[in-house]
Amino acid sequence: MIFQADTAFVTMAMQVNELFDAANEYANANPVLNRSSQIKMADLRVAIADIAKCMKFIAYLVEGWKREDPRIISRNGVELHYLIELRCTIDVTMIFLERENVDLLLFSHDAVAQAHSDLIRCNRLL
């Protein structure tokens, strides 16, 4: 089960990296010229920061599973919240980038969905 959690986290990290690359490409290709583009860039920055925060917490969580640390936080409470927040933010960022016609060929939504479900399963069992 630990191997599955580790594999799911690495898969999620790879997909997040592809999403960050696409967001970076979008930011470099679209200069901020008006208020609308300022709002889009600000929202994109918030989404990227939120994804990074969630990934950092999940990395800490997976490391705790490996060390078999006792759970100080609730078994399915905060951990599940971060997992759901990560998935929602990834989905919204992906939709935003698709609407802006950013190339997401290397990003796999199916891989994110599978990794997310594996991490939720591991969270319940470990």
pLDDT value, residue 108:
96
pLDDT value, residue 73:
62
Radius of gyration of the chain (CA): 16
pLDDT value, residue 75:
59
Alpha-helical regions (H) of 1-126: 2-29, 35-67, 78-99, 109-125
d(CA 16, CA 112): 9
Q: What is the pLDDT along the chain (126 residues), one digit of tens a residue?
A: 889 999 999 999 999 999 999 999 999 998 888 999 999 999 999 999 999 999 999 999 899 888 888 776 665 578 889 999 999 999 999 999 999 999 999 999 999 999 999 999 998 887
The domain limits of the chain are 2-125
Cα 12 to its chain centre, rounded Å, is 7
pLDDT value, residue 41:
95
pLDDT value, residue 126:
77
Specify the pTM.
0.90
